[in-house]
Structure 1
């Protein structure tokens, strides 16, 4: 996936999350906290997927 597509999808998910939380709660502080938590969760998942890809590439080199 190209980096620009990744950034657009990440922004879309975070903006969508913020809009949904704001319309559900009508609270700006809760919207900010929830959006930051969602951002942190997405970053952790991305970092984990990079670690898995590195681990799998290392296993493929050992198997050869």
Structure 2
């Protein structure tokens, strides 16, 4: 996935999360906390997917030899 597309999708997810929380609770503090939590979860998921791809490519290399 190109970085520009990834960046747009990330911002779209965070902004939609922030708007949804704000319209549901009308609390800026809750918006900030949930948006930061969502950002952290997205970063953890991205890091885990990179680790998985590295693991999968190293396993594929074992069977090619």
Q: Same fold (TM over 0.5)?
A: yes
Normalising to structure 1: TM-score of the pair?
0.98
* Matched residue SS, 1:11: helix
Structure 1 moving runs of 4+ over 3 Å: none
Normalising to structure 2: TM-score of the pair?
0.97
Identify unmatched segments of 5+ residues in structure 2: none
The number of equivalent residue pairs is 64
Give the RMSD, CA atoms, in angstroms. Answer: 0.3
Identify unmatched segments of 5+ residues in structure 1: none
